[in-house]
Amino acid sequence: MNAALERIEGASIPTFVVDTRAIAERVVADEIVALMRTRPTAVLGLATGDTPIGVYRELCAAHRAGGVSFARATTFNLDEYLDLDAGDGATFREWMQEQFFRHVDLARENAHLPESKPADPNLTAERYEAAITAQGGLDLQILGIGRNGHIGFNEPGSSRDSCTRVVRLHEVTRSDAVRAFGALARVPTRAITMGIATILDARRVRVLAFGARKKEIVRRTLLDPRSSACPSTFLRDHGDVKLFVDREAAALLHHAR
Ligand code: GLP
């Protein structure tokens, strides 16, 4: 692996510290490009938020340069807010459209996110899980971590065995989302998310965490007891997971070194 990646020996999840987030973004994007070349029909698990944005930027650039095609790929996003109209600029579908989908050759019908205003959200969630299974599962999941330890929208208290389902959003999650919505009252209270079991079923999981605001949750992810109180601790169960952190996010890891 890249010399710019410093591995933390003995960490509970294989963890790599990078000097700048751009290095991690490039490493993860390169891995996805390599996967797409060896397996053009790959099934990718995608994430939204500030964290993965540079990975999409790299993938779009690679596509523009003729280095990768997503024409035969399928994607499933981790989650989507409920109770927003389709086309609302705050939906994750619109975000994905802006950051990735409209820049690449992925077929629209192969780019899956849960609906944001379905007639029957529970049924939508059940069908989403079934659709992932029907595609043979996820080859590679990109993941960020919420400041409360959520992965996708699996908030504290989520079970290790959870599948795709309707969830209530935690207050930390909602207040972090004010950035996107402008006011707390506008942030949805519910979402559909892949479950923890769904995420851990992905054949590879690549987790990113950047900046000082993530240092405490990075520490807890690696060092807290493995439990529903901090869902990201369940990532330790995965056989092919890698966590990439920049120096700021790694600031509290001296015990793990
Ligand atoms: C969001 C998403 C997560 C994301 C996390 C961190 O609410 N549902 O998938 O990883 O919170 O967000 P950010 O990357 O903006 O810090």
CA–CA distance, 189 with 105 (Å, rounded to integer)? 33
Contacts of 72 (CB under 8 A, 6+ apart): 40, 41
Contacts of 136 (CB under 8 A, 6+ apart): 43
CA–CA distance, 91 with 97 (Å, rounded to integer)? 10
Global pTM?
0.96
Classify 81 as helix, strand or coil: strand
Gap from CA of 119 to ligand 1 centroid (Å): 26
Q: Are 219 and 257 in contact (CB under 8 A)?
A: no
- Using the atom order of ligand 1, give the atom closest to the CA of residue 145: 10
Mutation probe of ligand 1 site: the residue of 56, 145, 230 with most atoms within 8 A of C-beta = 145
Gap from CA of 52 to ligand 1 centroid (Å): 9
The residue whose C-alpha atom lies closest to atom 12 belonging to ligand 1 is 49
DSSP type of residue 244: E
CA–CA distance, 40 with 45 (Å, rounded to integer)? 15
Task: Output the tens digit of pLDDT for each of the chain's 257 residues.
Answer: 666 899 999 999 999 999 999 999 999 999 999 999 999 999 999 999 999 999 999 999 999 999 999 999 999 999 999 999 999 999 999 999 999 999 999 999 999 999 999 999 999 999 999 999 999 999 999 999 999 999 999 999 999 999 999 999 999 999 999 999 999 999 999 999 999 999 999 999 999 999 999 999 999 999 999 999 999 999 999 999 999 999 999 999 985 44
